[in-house]
Amino acid sequence: MRKTLSLPSKYPNFKLVGLALLIVFLIVYAYYVPPQNLFLVLPFILFLSIAIYIMTSFFLNIKIRQLTTLAVFLFFLINYWVGFQILNTILLVCFIIGLAILIK
């Protein structure tokens, strides 16, 4: 039998605290850092994807969680590179729906 390490119940839920700190960091980053080039915007997109991953970990299974995170990351990255175009958005949504059907 394998032993599992468990934290005492007096510690707060670190996932919620980490998520709150990450959201505060994203708000401060979005307010103070100008979006001039990809090297300034890419960390924001990555941290936003991590925040989405942590938020979906509370109520979704791992396959859907990873698919949602990938969709958010690709959506923001494509919209930054080429601007918001309805055709790219529709293609991305179709791609994500197709992946969701294949995963299930």
Domain ranges (residues) in the chain: 14-103
| Beta carbons of 54 and 18 less than 8 angstroms apart | yes
For 1, the enclosing helix (H) or strand (E) is: none
| Beta carbons of 76 and 38 less than 8 angstroms apart | no
| Beta carbons of 19 and 55 less than 8 angstroms apart | yes
Looking at per-residue pLDDT, the higher value among 85 and 48 belongs to 48
pTM (2 d.p.): 0.75
CA dist., res. 44 & res. 61, Å (int): 25
Condensed to tens digits (0 to 9), the pLDDT of residues 28-71 reads 999 998 888 888 889 999 999 999 998 888 888 888 888 889 88
| Beta carbons of 48 and 76 less than 8 angstroms apart | yes
Question: Above 70 in pLDDT, residue 91?
Answer: yes
